[in-house]
A and B are shown apart, each in its own frame.
Chain A
Amino acid sequence: EAQVTQNPRYLITVTGKKLTVTCSQNMNHEYMSWYRQDPGLGLRQIYYSMNVEVTDKGDVPEGYKVSRKEKRNFPLILESPSPNQTSLYFCASSGELGDRGNNEQYFGPGTRLTVT
């Protein structure tokens, strides 16, 4: 089954304690992305990756890091989490978004993070 998996699904942590949210896709997609979703703000892109070892900042990258050492995995790292990073996080992947088709980004189930 084609899917994007994220772990953990729920996480409560304290300020400053480093954490990693894993993301993996089994569709051989080149493009992967991390979003955060907050009430009234919608989905905002944190970081994205066009392929292995190619990553770039999205709209809200502060406080986050990513890496893309393998095509299927794209972990999100919070080196020193703060309460304003409490949010719902989604990983997504897609093949190359062509001009006529394949505009679908496949989303993971989400990770709800609470930083106290």
Chain B
Amino acid sequence: QKEVEQDPGPLSVPEGAIVSLNCTYSNSAFQYFMWYRQYSRKGPELLMYTYSSGNKEDGRFTAQVDKSSKYISLFIRDSQPSDSATYLCAMRTQGAQKLVFGQGTRLTINP
């Protein structure tokens, strides 16, 4: 079993839809949770970061962490074609430098 599981998709939705991307994990020691966005032919870029449980909002993006269920989510409101990319969840334990990544979900927003 992988430490971090993420549905690879692909996921295709119409412009304006609410998108939900999810990851589950098995290591209860994970404390730091991140979402990276990767455009085609580019390296991943940090989109959002959350420490421990709770929600964090940044514009159209909301990250949620439910440590009791070992489940994290990224919501995109009013999705735009420019949001089309692969989204990778990543997480790490306290004091660790190493990030553990999910497989990535390929998302397409159709105009």
Contacts and interface: CB of A to CB of B under 8 A. Distances in A.
Nearest to B91: A103
B81 to A, nearest CB: 22
A43 B6 CA distance: 12
Contacts of A99: 94-95
B97 A107 contact: no
Contacts of B41: 109-110
Given A109-B42, A109-B43, A110-B41, A104 B49 contact: yes
Nearest to B45: A107
A97 B94 CA distance: 9
Interface string B93-105: 0111111011110
B51 A42 contact: no
Given A43-B88, A48-B97, A99-B94, A110 B43 contact: yes
Contacts of B46: 103-105
Interface residues of B, number: 24
A10 to B, nearest CB: 10
Interface of B is mostly: loop
Contacts of B44: 43, 90, 107
A46 B46 CA distance: 20
Interface of B: 6, 8, 32, 34, 41-46, 49, 51, 88, 92, 94-99, 101-104
A50 B101 contact: no
Interface in A102-116: 103-105, 107-110
A43 B42 CA distance: 14
Nearest to B44: A107
A43 B103 CA distance: 7
A24 B101 CA distance: 23
A31 B97 contact: yes
